[in-house]
Each structure stands twice: as structure tokens, then as C-alpha cells.
């Protein structure tokens, strides 16, 4: 703005106008920034305006500061059972929520059967199919009590759980179903003896097995009273006809879902945006009853206006 010599032009700033809201977005822009609208054909405004300089020309600081996040963030648990849980997170962005979901599915460790030593399998289920099915059986144990087993480590009581399965169907008896409660926990480690080259080894020394437990897992305080068993005892593993037998030993180790889905602790995890229903006009009486009964999940509630009219 040019200033004439000796003349003082009044500098006019647009921010001095009375109706420009300072430091706050206009209501329709605020709606655009914070809500995903569902149009007839597709939802709009789905991308969140994350860029810190997004509304800079209006004087708004869109950069999120940690204290603002900490103040506004809330968690509300809707449902909490032993096997599933639903909770609302208010004030968080979809990017972080999605990261949590991905971590839940792929990067939380659990214990699952990895190596299966099959001594005898005359059933119609092939060895590898049987081993695959055993790997998918969920085990009821806290994985935080165990360490990871790497290639250089020896399997010991801190990183391996040993199960044994020995089922036989006698000739003449009907077919039996092998369920997951047939897996017995061996707290003292493997019982299968390794074949050693040394035929002249002294028989007084303990034979070498496939694990090197220095102490029994029963002595660990968490396992004193609780046996380690599969979570569900009625998972069908195999079926045996008469005269068939399965004898095997299974070693369970710690792993994450990224390596193999058997180590994923969740059946699934998902998130969605919380829906917000805004009624554009007041609905009363019979129409209100009709609308309430139409919704299968009881979203609507009717409140009495006091005059005998009912309003949604």
C-alpha cells in the first residue's frame, strides 16, 4: 500500500472486520475438517486435513500439539468379555487407529506349536496336515513369560512348551475323534530320545532328548497350579479308524503374526468411524414411533415433550 508523503492513509486490515471469527474455523469448514459426510453415492471429506499449514491463511494453527491431544483424547469401553472387546476412541486420527489395528493383528506375540516330532502316524491324516492343524490350536498361556527362540538357541524351559499326543484306536472299536484336550503338557521337557552316534555310551547318564530343560516348568510360580492346556478342549485335530495310532510330540514357541497367522492373538480386529445421526427436522408422534421401530439396533430414543406429544 503506497503511503503519500505527509499523508497518512489509514491501513485497513481484513482481520479487523467484525464478522471474521478469529482463531476459529467457520462452522461449515469445521464440519468439513472433523466429519466424514455420507452422500448418496459415496462418503466425502474422508481424507483428514493433517497438514499443519492447512488453514494458515485464516490464521488458524492446525498443527496438533501434544497437550491438545492429551486433553481431548478419551476412551470409552462399550463391551468387555473374556473373548472380545469393543471400545470407542474419541479424538484420535484414523492413521494411528489403523496402526493399532495392524499391530494387534500382526505384531503381538503368542505361543503356538511350531515343531512336531512324529514318532508314529498310521492315521489317514498326513503328517504335514496334522502338524499344520496342531500349529493352529490356540494355547492358553501368557506369552510374556517366555523368551523368543532363535536359531542359535537351544530349546529350554524358558522358550519352549512341550506337548505330547498319543492316541490309539483299537481294532474292533468304533472310530474315535482326536480333540485338542488329548494334548498333554510335559513340564519336564521332551521325552523323545535323540539317536546318538555313540553306541557305547554309558547307560547311567541321562539320554539326550530334543530339549534341554534345566528345571521343570512346574516350578515356575505361574504354572504351579495352572496347567498349560489348549484354550478350547474341543477342537477336532484328527479322526482315527480302528487299528490306527498317532504318537507325537509338539514344541510350542513364541512368535508374531507377521511370520505366520497361527501366532496372531486375535481372531480379527477392526475399527470404524463412529456414526453421528443428525435429524434435520423435528419428528413427532406416530412418525417417531415408526422410525424408532424401523431401526434394528435401537439407535433412536423417544422423549416425551410433556404435553402428551412424543418427540424423537
Query: Which range touches another protein (CB under 8 A), out of 2-10, 12-20, 58-66, 117-125?
Result: 58-66
Contacting residue, 24, 31, 46, 51, with another protein by CB under 8 A: 51
* Residue 112 C-beta: closest distance to another protein, Å: 21
Tell me the C-alpha distance between 53 and 63, whole Å: 7
Nearer to another protein, 55 or 212 (CB): 55
Q: Does residue number 274 form part of the binding site for another protein (CB under 8 A)?
A: no
Tell me the C-alpha distance between 118 and 115, whole Å: 10
* Residue 111 C-beta: closest distance to another protein, Å: 22
* Residue 49 C-beta: closest distance to another protein, Å: 9
Secondary structure class of 140 (helix, strand, coil)? strand
Tell me the C-alpha distance between 270 and 160, whole Å: 31
Query: Which range touches another protein (CB under 8 A), out of 37-45, 47-55, 158-166, 240-248?
Result: 47-55
Measuring CA to CA, how many Å separate 108 from each of 33, 102, 147, 154, 260? 33, 10, 13, 23, 12
Q: Does residue number 73 form part of the binding site for another protein (CB under 8 A)?
A: yes
Count of residues that bind another protein according to CB under 8 A: 29
Nearer to another protein, 163 or 263 (CB): 263
Contacts of 177 (CB under 8 A, 6+ apart): 236, 238, 239, 240
Q: Does residue number 75 form part of the binding site for another protein (CB under 8 A)?
A: yes
Closest C-alpha to 63, from 74, 73, 51: 51
Burial 170-184 (b: 16+ CB within 10 A, else e): eeeeeebebbbebbe
Contacting residue, 89, 108, 118, 145, with another protein by CB under 8 A: 89
φ/ψ region of 144 (left if φ > 0, alpha if ψ in -120 to 50, else beta) reads: alpha
Q: Does residue number 297 form part of the binding site for another protein (CB under 8 A)?
A: no
Query: Which range touches another protein (CB under 8 A), out of 69-77, 115-123, 265-273, 287-295?
Result: 69-77
Contacting residue, 106, 145, 220, 302, with another protein by CB under 8 A: 106
List 116's β-bridge partners, or say none: 250
Which residues here bind another protein, judged by CB under 8 A? Answer: 50-53, 61, 63-64, 66, 69-70, 73-77, 80, 87, 89, 92-93, 95-96, 98-100, 102-103, 106-107
Amino acid at each position: 500500500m503506497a503511503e503519500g508523503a505527509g499523508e497518512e492513509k489509514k491501513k485497513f486490515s481484513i482481520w479487523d472486520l467484525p464478522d471474521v471469527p478469529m482463531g476459529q474455523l467457520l462452522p461449515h469448514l469445521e464440519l468439513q475438517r472433523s466429519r466424514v459426510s455420507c452422500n448418496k453415492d459415496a462418503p466425502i471429506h474422508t481424507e483428514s486435513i493433517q497438514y499443519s499449514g492447512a488453514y494458515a491463511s485464516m490464521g488458524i494453527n492446525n498443527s496438533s500439539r501434544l497437550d491438545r491431544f492429551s486433553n481431548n483424547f478419551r476412551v470409552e469401553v462399550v463391551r468387555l468379555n473374556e473373548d472380545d472387546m469393543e471400545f470407542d476412541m474419541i479424538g484420535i486420527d484414523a492413521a494411528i487407529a489403523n496402526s493399532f489395528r495392524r499391530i494387534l493383528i500382526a505384531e503381538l506375540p503368542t505361543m503356538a506349536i511350531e515343531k512336531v516330532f512324529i514318532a508314529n502316524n498310521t492315521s489317514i491324516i498326513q503328517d504335514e496336515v496334522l502338524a499344520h492343524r496342531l500349529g493352529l490350536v490356540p494355547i492358553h498361556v501368557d506369552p510374556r513369560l517366555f523368551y523368543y527362540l532363535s536359531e542359535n538357541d537351544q530349546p529350554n524351559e524358558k522358550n519352549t512348551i512341550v506337548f505330547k499326543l498319543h492316541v490309539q484306536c483299537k481294532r474292533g472299536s468304533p472310530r474315535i475323534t482326536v480333540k485338542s484336550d488329548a494334548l498333554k503338557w510335559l513340564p519336564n521337557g521332551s521325552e523323545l530320545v535323540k539317536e546318538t552316534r555313540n553306541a557305547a555310551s554309558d547307560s547311567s547318564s541321562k539320554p539326550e532328548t530334543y530339549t534341554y530343560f534345566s528345571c521343570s516348568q512346574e516350578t515356575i510360580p505361574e504354572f504351579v497350579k495352572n496347567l498349560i492346556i489348549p484354550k478350547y478342549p474341543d477342537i477336532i485335530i484328527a479322526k482315527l479308524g480302528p487299528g490306527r495310532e498317532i504318537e507325537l510330540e509338539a514344541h510350542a514357541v513364541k512368535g508374531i503374526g507377521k511370520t505366520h497367522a497361527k501366532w496372531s492373538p486375535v481372531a480379527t480386529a477392526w475399527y470404524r468411524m463412529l456414526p453421528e445421526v443428525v435429524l434435520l427436522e423435528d419428528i413427532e408422534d406416530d412418525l417417531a414411533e415408526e422410525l424408532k421401530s424401523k431401526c434394528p439396533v435401537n439407535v433412536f430414543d423417544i422423549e416425551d415433550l410433556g404435553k402428551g406429544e412424543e418427540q424423537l
